[in-house]
């Protein structure tokens, strides 16, 4: 009898701890690893970041989402990290090296001048584009002039290499895991450009 009580005395706390950890991971936040270079220079390959699942998504938020539901070439279990440029109802356009949301110039202080300009073009056929024209150029079907309800238009910060909404369309809200935050041990620049840029819109 004492043996059973002794076992339970350490098994029960472990089980409770695991249950709490599971609840936190499922509903509050988790730590994920950045895979790839599409968010450089702000997030680099293999960097660990927090994903907060209850945070409100805003313009210029960085999010993690299930890529399998968005990118036709993604395999099950693949997750992408991108920045939200367009919210539901927004009009997105790129003209003469500048990015506009609802005809408002987005300063994009979080990336270089090159990525704002040359990197954001979509080949020679789409140096200037809007949602309808890029959808037609890349064949992702939706010819809407605005971001549909319950969906987002996302771009990687490293525009010249990023596989993002320019190529396969919108991200459904149901596919979003949460909002990315660089932890306290991250660089000052990364924390500023990832955690604190929503006020730029």
Residues serving a catalytic function are: 38, 82
Measured in residues, the chain has a length of 201
Q: Is the peptide bond before 142 cis (omega within 30 degrees of 0)?
A: no
Helix (H) or strand (E) holding 10: helix 2-27
- Contact (Cβ atoms closer than 8 angstroms) between residue 143 and residue 136: yes
Q: 31: which strand partners? A: 50
- Rounded to 5 degrees, φ, ψ at 104 are -100, 125
51 three-state secondary structure: strand
β-sheet with 92-95: strand ranges across: 104-105, 98-101, 92-95, 129-130
152 SS3 class: strand
């Amino acid at each position: 009898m004492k043996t059973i009580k002794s076992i339970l005395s350490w098994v029960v706390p472990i089980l409770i701890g695991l249950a709490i950890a599971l609840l936190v991971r499922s509903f509050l936040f988790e730590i994920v690893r950045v895979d790839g270079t599409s968010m450089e220079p702000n997030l680099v390959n293999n960097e660990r970041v927090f994903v907060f699942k209850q945070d409100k998504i805003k313009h210029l938020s960085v999010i993690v989402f299930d890529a399998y539901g968005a990118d036709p070439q993604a395999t099950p279990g693949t997750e992408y990290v991108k920045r939200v440029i367009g919210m539901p109802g927004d009009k997105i356009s790129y003209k003469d090296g500048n990015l506009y949301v609802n005809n408002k110039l987005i300063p994009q202080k979080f990336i270089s001048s090159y990525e704002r300009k040359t990197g954001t073009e979509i080949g020679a056929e789409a140096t200037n584009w809007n949602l309808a024209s890029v959808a037609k150029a890349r064949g992702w079907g939706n010819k809407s002039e605005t971001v549909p309800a319950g969906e987002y238009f996302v771009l990687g910060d490293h525009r010249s290499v990023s596989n993002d909404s320019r190529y396969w369309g919108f991200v459904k809200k149901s596919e979003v895991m949460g909002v990315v935050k660089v932890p306290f041990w991250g660089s000052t620049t990364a924390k500023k450009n990832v955690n604190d840029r929503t006020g730029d819109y």
